[in-house]
Amino acid sequence: MAEPDDAPTTPTPPTMDGRTVLVTGASSGIGLEAARALAARGARVVMLVRDPARADAAAASILATAPAARLERVVADLASLAEVRRAAAEVRDRFDRLDVLLNNAGAINDRRELTVDGFERTFAVNHLAAFLLSAELRDLLVASAPARLITVSSLGHRFARFTWDDLPYGERGYRESFAYGASKLCNLWFAREAARRLAGTGVTSNALHPGAIASGFGRDGSWLYRVGMRIGKRVLLTPAKGARTSIYLASAPEVADVTGQYFVRCKVATPSRAARDDARAARLWALSEDLTGVRWP
């Protein structure tokens, strides 16, 4: 069943004038709708996308509903660590501030694939890319404080299955639902540990579950997953509704000082017991530093 549409409403949406927001995966789905809403509120929105043609179509869609939108584009394949580093360098070079980093991009794959760096693709795109991009842009966020780091996770984190030494590679009995769940659990651990490490900098870190969304997500999932998504479209949330919690965390004044939390339908929620394990969050952090070659202060 679709999740109830009970997100808080704001009579006058908070302005984002003067703020710069980077949204990964902004060419479709909830990333596109978050970019649309934040641009309409006055933010300069940097759309980090993989496909330039889809980015152009997304920008045209936003401008059709918000003609004054200020949109920028950065093109990168988040499955490549080198591409993530290059994109971050471009952002640092082109923009003098970053008020919100919304790690929205995500994928699910029906079969095990390795990236150019030798990592299982779901883990690399959903977690390592967000970890590395956030690390590379950390200083810009801190210099722009108060700023917000937001990571899109999923209820799917409750279905995570992995062993630590196999997590980056997915060699042992790969299943798309387990790989996706593991990456979403990693998102929660990352957001939680980032909040601890960013304490005192003026940068908050939170994660969210957007809800079950009828979008193009899962186009690389198994045929059974794709069929299920088609059948479920009648009861799933639209991308616009699914983007509400991302938009809320990026703009709402009442969460300006909230950090280290998990949100569902714009409210603080309790993730799985595993997601609240600080020791495992720290372990993932150390592993991610080793795999990406980056060190956070």
Which tokens is 170 given? 């997915």
**Active-site position among 169, 174, 180, 262:** 180
Which tokens is 257 given? 């000082």
- Strand 262-264 relative to strand 267-269, pairing: antiparallel
- DSSP calls for 132-170: HHHHHTHHHHHHT-SEEEEEE--GGGGG----GGGTTT-
In the chain, DSSP assigns E strands to: 20-24, 44-49, 70-75, 100-103, 147-152, 203-209, 262-264, 267-269
Residues pairing with 269 in the sheet: 262
Respond yes or no: is residue 248 known to be catalytic: no
**Cβ atoms within 10 Å, residue 230:** 10
Tell me 120's DSSP state.
Answer: B
Which residues are known to be catalytic?
180
